[in-house]
Amino acid sequence: MKLILTAAAASLLAVSFASPALAQGDGAVTYKTKCLMCHGADGQPTMAGKSLKAMPFKSPELISASNATLIASVTNGKGKMPAYAGKLSAGEIKDVVAYIRTLQK
């Protein structure tokens, strides 16, 4: 019994310390299902994205934008990009922004 409790406690600790990596993974999954078609796999707009005037994620304007600004853009929409409030949770939007930051490197 003691061994089972020790293993369970170790599993819980491992999951809690792994949460940033899990969030990035969740952000990647959400990005692939909601953003990829316009913003491309690497943050370079696709043909559809270019027709909607999507900016490359490596543009100086988006690199210098705060996380709060990017979260607001995803939440409320910007230009022809639809709003994702009510479609994605606040956590999912935060995870997508974190994933977008990885595409800027």
Question: Which domains are assigned to the chain?
Answer: 19-103 (1.10.760.10)
Instruction: Give the predicted TM-score (pTM) of the model.
Output: 0.76
* The 3-state secondary structure of the chain, one letter per residue: CHHHHHHHHHHHHHHHHHHHHHHHHHHHHHHHHHCHHHHCCCCCCCHHHHHCCCCCCCCHHHHHCCHHHHHHHHHHCECCECCCECCECHHHHHHHHHHHHHHCC
Write down the pLDDT at residue 39: 97
pLDDT in tens, the chain (105 residues): 444 434 444 444 344 334 444 445 799 999 999 999 999 999 999 999 999 999 999 999 999 999 999 999 999 999 999 999 999 999 999 999 999 999 999
Contacts of 8 (CB under 8 A, 6+ apart): none
